[in-house]
Structure 1
């Protein structure tokens, strides 16, 4: 009983101190959450629907031409059976051969015409003095006209040029290519990849998609424990150890270019700065005539925001692996 009274008296005497400690702990927790939150920006547009009308027109023209040619091949005047009986076999064989060759060529052309390639290029850059990549991307997004394919092509071109100008700050890059057999599958996959990348942002602070300009439109809690890209604790520890050994507490910016284009295309494997330049030029060459949709996503969007080593490892594991390859390449 005496001990209980002693504890109560102790709590009464030190109640103010305890409350202050709790307030400090809560404020530190809130501050940590704010620092850990990653802002994100996204700009671009999708034009799958607008392209479908032109493709349907081209397909119908090809079909009508195919019908006309078929009709022309069989619209021959009647001849006397006795006069041409001997020559009918070779002629029939020749006509079947030509007809089959035409059909195969037409089918191949139609298949290739429906192929959609979704290309994604991830680039990691160091946030160092002189690197204005965040400011440049914000400027491009605020000025971009994303209501037209030409406007989206322009912003993608500007982004590629900006990345090329800042390639000296690049520490890692990764490319992926997915081929889809139909426009519907390509569109579905494109939006799926876009949503996955946007879900990594804790907050979208700048959005310009199809000329729908908004700021701070979405704040979310990203579940890193359920993230399919979350790495093992051993790899996290190894990466953190490498960071400590380097003696530099690096901060990063991640830029992602996502495009869907007509036809089958490839990007080079990126093992260094020269490969990155080649990939950027390849993307640039596809924009003018083959673009169906394109986006640029980057995090952090706010200039006073940065990404930590742990964030890179959890959300962008391919970049973390590429970082080691880039370091080896630089030392060669």
Structure 2
């Protein structure tokens, strides 16, 4: 009898312990789920307010170049074209050119004509390839489809660089993005603004490639779309002389509270990201960015692109609204390519 009571007591205690363990586990899961819900709901609210700014424009039309052969390299009989063909007489490479070698006598006239045609073909091929520059890009050798450099330079700045947001907003509201000169000014002012704030540089990344004109626009647009898709909306835009500005949504700071333009602490671990996209006919050799000096060199090279070489430019930055910043988690999630400088 005592043994039965003892066994029953042991069984009951085990069941109670198991019940308490299950209850504790369920309670822990509930608390974890509630915490996750609060965290992600705040993060969604903060991300929903991350608008971006955009400035840019350009054209990928082929340059209108007319090739004129120098008189010392192409005799006038070719009329300045690539495929002038062979014309006997009239100042071209006719029989007088052959006379010192074969002459007309002895039935060698046909043979002289064949030699002249061979020489003409050789010269035509030479003229067609003579425009290839020393850099190997061939911009003049194939004027209808030249080589184009497409590059992306991205910088993560500390939140204290609020002056950059102000500068970019000013540029967006005043820039003439409908002309080549205006776009060049946008590029120069943007790079200057970044160069003047080296103490706020935290992260950076660069990507550069050379491609033919026929595929340059697609490559440029792919980079632009990839960056623009990281915004929930473009709250300020000036592209191809079309300015638009949306009313920004109320922003949440990193603690989930409503942010205002004044009295916002510059919390550590908060950032602003600026991106420059360029396409130009010049060969753009940008360094790999590992240090602040590398970033400075890249900014100077991009800012030095001349108006006659610049084909397209886009400047993108987020957040656009003063008072908003990206948290460290948002920076890592949206811009994993950035490297510490």
Structure 2: give runs of 5+ residues left out of the alignment.
Answer: 1-36, 70-78, 133-137, 250-266
Q: For 1:73-120, what per-residue CA distance to the aligned partner results, in whole angstroms no more than 9, with x for missing partners?
A: 434459662179599599757666544433432575424861111110
**Matches for 1:219-234 after TM superposition, within 5 Å:** none
Structure ID, larger Rg? 2
Structure 1: give runs of 5+ residues left out of the alignment.
Answer: 1-25, 220-247, 327-332
| Structure 2 residue 105 is the aligned partner of structure 1 residue 82 | yes
1:305 aligns to what? Answer: 324
Q: For 1:147-196, what per-residue CA distance to the aligned partner results, in whole angstroms no more than 9, with x for missing partners?
A: 11111110110000000001110011111012212x23101111121111
Contact 1:39 1:305 in 2 (8 A): no
In terms of mean alpha carbon deviation, does 282-291 or 61-70 score higher?
61-70
In 2, the alpha carbon distance for the partners of 1:191 and 1:74 equals: 48
Say if 1:179 and 1:213 are closer, same or farther in 2 by CA, change over 3 A: same
In 2, the alpha carbon distance for the partners of 1:116 and 1:149 equals: 16
| Structure 2 residue 126 is the aligned partner of structure 1 residue 115 | no
In 1, the alpha carbon distance for the partners of 2:39 and 2:293 equals: 44
**Matches for 1:40-189 after TM superposition, within 5 Å:** 40-49=52-61, 52=62, 55=63, 57-59=64-66, 64-68=80-84, 71=87, 73-76=92-95, 81-82=104-105, 85=108, 97-106=122-131, 108=138, 109-111=140-142, 114-128=146-160, 131-181=162-212, 183-189=213-219
**Matches for 1:242-321 after TM superposition, within 5 Å:** 249-319=268-338
CA RMSD of aligned residues (A): 3.4
In 1, the alpha carbon distance for the partners of 2:179 and 2:222 equals: 22
In 2, the alpha carbon distance for the partners of 1:84 and 1:309 equals: 87
Aligned to 1:139, the other structure's residue is in SS state helix
In 2, the alpha carbon distance for the partners of 1:217 and 1:111 equals: 47
Identify, as 1 or 2, the structure richer in helix. Answer: 1
Say if 1:70 and 1:135 are closer, same or farther in 2 by CA, change over 3 A: farther
Task: Give the superposition deviation at 1:197.
Answer: 0.5
Say if 1:47 and 1:249 are closer, same or farther in 2 by CA, change over 3 A: same
Say if 1:44 and 1:198 are closer, same or farther in 2 by CA, change over 3 A: same
Q: Of 203, 208, 215, which aligns to 2:233?
A: 203
In 2, the alpha carbon distance for the partners of 1:190 and 1:258 equals: 8
Aligned to 2:130, the other structure's residue is in SS state helix
Q: Of 32, 42, 45, which aligns to 1:34?
A: 45
Contact 1:207 1:213 in 2 (8 A): yes
Q: What TM-score do the two structures reach when normalised by structure 2? A: 0.67
1:235 aligns to what? Answer: none
In 2, the alpha carbon distance for the partners of 1:39 and 1:301 equals: 6
Number of residue pairs matched by the alignment: 263
Contact 2:279 2:311 in 1 (8 A): yes
Contact 1:114 1:263 in 2 (8 A): no
